[in-house]
Amino acid sequence: MIRRLTSQDDPQCQQLLSAKPAENLFIIGDIENFGYEQDFQKLWGDFSEVKQLRAVLLKYHNNYIAYANDSFNAKGFAAIINSDPEFMQLSGLQKITEKILPHIKNGKVRTRELYYAKCDEAKKLNPEFDINRVKQATTEDVPRLVKLQNQISEFEQDNSREDSIRRGIEQKSARSYYIEEQGVMISSASTTAENSKSAMVVGVCTHPHYKRQGLASSCMHKLCRDLLAEGRMLCLFYDNPEAGSIYKRLGFEDIGKWMMHIFEKVKEPSTI
């Protein structure tokens, strides 16, 4: 049985999601930030015959994310998505989205596929990295952090980056660690989407003149150690095996593939 979830379902919902906090980073964070009763956010649950919650479907604006720890009513979730004229994106672990996709009626435009990895225990962290030089950024450090990131060719140019980083630090939903040389920030690693149980690692970078010195790995080690000490699991996306080998050396392990399926918006019927 599928039905809308309300705040009364939160204990059972949290029990399901918190068993896999890295896999459910986005759903957990959106519930903590916005709850169950927003116009732009809705949640549905799929319940077993004994009324046990076994799967969750989240709508956040025009994006849907699904999670299940076992079998679930994929066709029923697809029916909810198909009835939404705002629907444009389906995201989630590949093993879940692949069950829903055959029932989606909208035409798919493109798919982005990323590796998804997590670090859930401090003992898995590689202790070889020196963290003595690593500092945690404050809002005063944001301009230097943005200057560093703007010099990284792999990073997209983003005029809103400075405001976004500063807001994340102020709201305690993000943090950054860095290493500097003579007052110049030369390497950093950051989090975003922090919730009570997990956080996403982003913005791992080193100035082109200082590469291959283990600086970014040191920033990562300090970041992961601190977050895990707070009871938060770390997760990240990467899109090539070379990057994956670096993260695995740090102590991350693959969860699976994270899929982002972009669809055509449903066309309104003609009134002519």
pLDDT digits (tens, 9 = 90+) for 9-65: 999 999 999 999 999 999 999 999 999 989 999 999 999 999 999 999 999 999 999
State the CATH number of the domain containing residue 24: 3.40.630
pLDDT, tens digit (0-9, with 9 covering 90-100), for 58-95: 999 999 999 998 899 999 999 999 999 999 999 999 99
pLDDT at 123: 82
State the CATH number of the domain containing residue 128: 3.40.630.30
| Residue 41 Cα distances to 25, 30, 266, angstroms | 16, 8, 19
- The mean pLDDT of the chain is 92
Whether residue 272 has pLDDT greater than 50: no
Q: Give yes or no for a contact between 46 and 2, defined as CB atoms under 8 angstroms apart.
A: yes
Percent of the chain with pLDDT over 90: 82
| Residue 15 Cα distances to 191, 227, 251, angstroms | 24, 21, 26
- Which of 15-37 are b and which e, b meaning 16 or more Cβ less than 10 Å from the residue's Cβ? ebbeebbbbbbbbbbbbeeeebe
Q: Is residue 265 part of a domain?
A: no
Q: Is residue 61 part of a domain?
A: yes
* Domain carrying residue 243: 119-255
d(Cα 89, Cα 96) in Å, to the nearest integer? 14
pLDDT at 121: 85
Question: Is the same domain home to 245 and 144?
Answer: yes
- 263 or 130: whose pLDDT is higher? 263
pLDDT, tens digit (0-9, with 9 covering 90-100), for 185-218: 999 999 999 999 999 999 999 999 999 899 999 9
Question: Is the same domain home to 14 and 45?
Answer: yes
The torsion defined by the Cα of 133, 136, 140 and 145, in degrees rounded to 10, comes to 70
Question: Is the same domain home to 127 and 251?
Answer: yes
Q: Is residue 272 part of a domain?
A: no
Q: Is residue 263 part of a domain?
A: no
pLDDT, tens digit (0-9, with 9 covering 90-100), for 171-187: 999 999 999 999 999 99
pLDDT at 74: 98
Question: 192 has which bridge partners?
Answer: 200
d(Cα 76, Cα 74) in Å, to the nearest integer? 5
Question: Is the same domain home to 10 and 93?
Answer: yes
Question: Is the same domain home to 88 and 143?
Answer: no
Q: Is residue 112 part of a domain?
A: no
pLDDT at 155: 85
Q: Which of 170, 148, 153 is nearest to 216 (CA)?
A: 148
